[in-house]
Amino acid sequence: MRESKNTIFHGMKILVLTFILLVFGSASIHAEEYDALNGLKSLHTVFDFSQGSPQIATVVFPAIRGVYQDESVTSLPNPPRTVIVFRGAAVKLISTDRQGDAKDQQALDQVAEMIRQFKKEGVKMEVCMYAVQVMGVDPETILPEIDKVGNGFISVSGYEAQGYSVITIL
């Protein structure tokens, strides 16, 4: 009986050690520098966001956060800069005047919370007021964390001219 308890205990130790190695081993792989970042001092990214689905936004927003919080990006000599420009149907996601079913409402709550978190983390956000007008959104209902600009295309082009990488989310 004693021998089987020792065998079980030994097996558990191996299982725990394997788990620890997998967790910490994968972290070291994750922290490995991307070839694409070689020679960079910082990563500046503008996300051109026109996707209007609240459910898709709840999936894409954490991926955006994953860019500027990635260890390979934060280990560069200068901190990353991130901008999100909302245009097209996406302007409806950032309005307090919400429409849709209960599932949409829940996703919009998550979107609003992620917007607040982005702001706290230093992400600059802009909304295209041309799109706000075309989409029939009341400008007064735009979340306060988001700066208003006349034309989102000008913002995206300007950031690109400043050296920001543009990622389009349709």
Could you state, in chain order, the average pLDDT of each consecutive group of 10 residues for the chain (170 residues)?
Answer: 51 42 39 78 97 96 97 95 98 93 94 98 98 98 98 98 97
With tokens 């007021």, the residue in question is 129
With tokens 């020679």, the residue in question is 39
Determine which helix (DSSP H) or strand (DSSP E) holds 53, and give its type and residue range.
none
In terms of pTM, does the model score above 0.85?
no
Give the pLDDT score at 100: 82
Determine which helix (DSSP H) or strand (DSSP E) holds 70, and give its type and residue range.
none
25-33: list long-range contacts, CB under 8 Å, 24+ apart: 30/71, 31/71, 31/72, 31/75, 32/72, 33/72, 33/75
**How would DSSP label each residue in 117-167?**
HHHHTT-EEEEEHHHHHHTT--GGGB-TTSEEES-HHHHHHHHHHTTPEEE
Give the pLDDT score at 99: 82
Give the pLDDT score at 6: 54
